[in-house]
Copies of this chain bind each other. A is one copy, B any other.
Amino acid sequence: MEKFINEQEALEDFLKTTGALYDETRVQLLKFIDKHGAMCICDLQNSFNMLQSRLSRHIKILKDSGFLSIKKDGRWSYYSIRTPLDRFRLQAIEEIRALPISLPELKKISSDCEI
């Protein structure tokens, strides 16, 4: 992500990263977005059977922890895996990519993100 000035920030960043990874829903969301590319909350809402507020909160945690980037276009917010990812976050994504867990089918309603 970025370089750190003090040890406080470095530790906080590490804990924010591991905290984001310590939730089944967020692991599924990361794997799903990594697999399918940029999408909106509403696409996740249609694919996963979860409340919008729940998804929005989890996505915010993934964004704030450096895993996702956002591109807004009108009323849609497209979330995708952030590039570049720092080393450890990338290693985590690769670990999640290798996890043999099943994901729901992608039911996309937003237009493809072209920005």
Contact = CB atoms under 8 A, between A and B. Distances in A.
A99 B21 contact: no
How many chain copies does the complex carry? 2
A10 B23 CA distance: 14
B22 A100 contact: no
A88 B93 CA distance: 10
Contacts of A22: 15, 18-19, 21-22
Given A11-B24, A22-B22, 18 more contacts: A6-B100, A7-B100, A7-B102, A10-B99, A10-B100, A10-B101, A14-B21, A15-B22, A15-B23, A15-B24, A18-B18, A18-B21, A21-B21, A21-B22, A87-B95, A88-B91, A88-B95, A91-B91
Interface of A: 4, 6-7, 10-11, 14-15, 18-19, 21-24, 27, 87-88, 91-92, 95-96, 99-102
